[in-house]
Amino acid sequence: MKALVIGSGGREHALVWKLHQEGYEVFCAPGNGGICQDATCYEAKSVDELLQLALKEKIDLTVVGPEAYLAQGVVDVFESHGLKIFGPNRKASQLECSKVYAKLLMDECGIPTARFRLFDDPVQAEKYVERCEFPIVIKADGLAQGKGSYVVMSREEAFNVIDSLMRKKIFGESGERIVVEEFLRGKEMSMMVLTDGKTYVPMMSAMDYKKIYDGDRGPNTGGMGSIAPAPHYSENLWRSVREEILDKLFPALEKRNVIYKGVLYLGLMITQDGPKVLEFNCRFGDPETQSILLLLESDLLEMLQAVVEGELERRKILWSKEKAVCVVLVSGGYPESYKTGFEIFGLNKVKDAIVFHAGTKKVDGKIVTSGGRVLNVCAKADTYAKARRRVYEEIEKIHFENMYYRKDIGLFIS
């Protein structure tokens, strides 16, 4: 069996690592400095280049990592050529690609979410926030690499965010429309669900840490760490998510002639009134996947194949009862401006954790930084505290110039 993973981040390295562990022949495009140790990497980046690679190598199953490829219709193109590919098609991926689409759909079918207003005119948006009680949340409509959501504490800050998104267009067309919504209080949780269009099965729950600084302070990032399972997950909670969200969502999509196949990521806030949807993503979470896959005891490729072939109902997914912790090492200055090209030292000294590469590349035989989020250091143990201790002890062995990471991932969780 040959598997192709599309992408170049920590999530993709975790997928490659798991498939490689299972004994499959793994390819990745474009990959990174660490992925190439577990897979054959190609520089293919465009949808057409990826298609030609899959045809040339006779790939049995392709797994899509980043959401941008889903938005470009890579699933539609592969399927039109008779290739098996894991991920929702372009129409279904609107759940992530447009916050406006997702909020209107949730409103239409009664899925619990934050109260909201939509705007395509910055002046009207500013008039509305003048009357708001703070904090509020402002979100760009389109894709923004996990950085398009802002918790806003004042009117002045709201004006700045609206100006940045809608006039300065820091995320391009993604900010032409915005969502302004109420700030929900509670505990955040990430849940991913596999679905073949008929059956849906929950994966291990997780909790991620989005803010750059300890104590959940500072701007949002693509993710600074994760733990799995989420400490506040329960069977009763899953029952609420299934009945109040999923049992409403999938029939509503079907009415719109959308058959959703792949993984659906639910960003949830567990409020005093029950779980409410913060966002939908149409791909594996990053860095949640890095933690979750450490705990997966079933064969990953068989699971993904079952989704693509409509056989999910026949599969039982087995999980370890251990706990997993992932800490992300980033370039100093991230998520704003940062420098790259620094050699990474000490990777060969790490023995008691797994390091998934994100923003790295190989230059003259050396691994150097090439992005904002650089490495993911992950470990599992029978308690969060033990897994956390392993991760931070191994991080001490790694060094690159301007390296930064949060010190509180998994802290205060027994």
Q: What is the pLDDT of residues 320-339, one digit of tens each?
A: 999 999 999 999 999 999 99
Give per-residue pLDDT as tens, 7-56: 999 999 999 999 999 999 999 999 999 999 999 999 998 999 999 999 99
Q: Helix 10-21 vs helix 300-308: angle between axes, to the nearest 10 degrees?
A: 110
**116-182 has which fold?**
Dna Ligase; domain 1 (3.30.1490)
| Pairing of the two strands 149-152 and 373-381 | unpaired
Provide the mean pLDDT of the chain.
96
What pLDDT does residue 269 have? 97
Going by the DSSP 8-state scheme, the letter that residue 330 receives in this structure is: E
What pLDDT does residue 146 have? 79
Q: Which residues pair with 217 in a beta bridge?
A: 213
What pLDDT does residue 200 have? 93
Q: What is the Cα–Cα distance from 141 to 132, expressed in whole angstroms?
A: 20
145 pLDDT band (50/70/90 cuts)? confident
CB 244 within 8 A of CB 264: no
412 pLDDT band (50/70/90 cuts)? confident
Closest by CA to 225, choosing from 7, 350, 402, 384, is: 384
Give per-residue pLDDT as tens, 252-292: 999 999 999 999 999 999 999 999 999 999 999 999 999 99
2 pLDDT band (50/70/90 cuts)? very high
Domain boundaries, the chain: 2-87, 116-182, 187-314, 323-404
Percent of the chain with pLDDT over 90: 97
3-state secondary structure of 200: strand
123 pLDDT band (50/70/90 cuts)? very high
Domain 2-87 matching CATH 3.40.50.20: the answer reads yes
In the predicted structure, residue 67 carries a pLDDT above the cut 90:
yes
| Site of tokens 């104590």 | 215
**Torsion angle, alpha carbons of 281, 287, 289, 291, to 10:** -150
- Which positions ≥6 away from 377 have C-beta within 8 Å? 326, 327, 329, 350, 353, 354, 355, 391, 394, 395, 398
**323-404 has which fold?**
Glycinamide Ribonucleotide Synthetase; Chain A, domain 4 (3.90.600)
Query: In the CATH scheme, what is the code of domain 187-314?
Result: 3.30.470.20
What pLDDT does residue 414 have? 60
Going by the DSSP 8-state scheme, the letter that residue 173 receives in this structure is: G
**Residues 61-88: what's their mean pLDDT?**
97
**Residues 337-366: what's their mean pLDDT?**
97
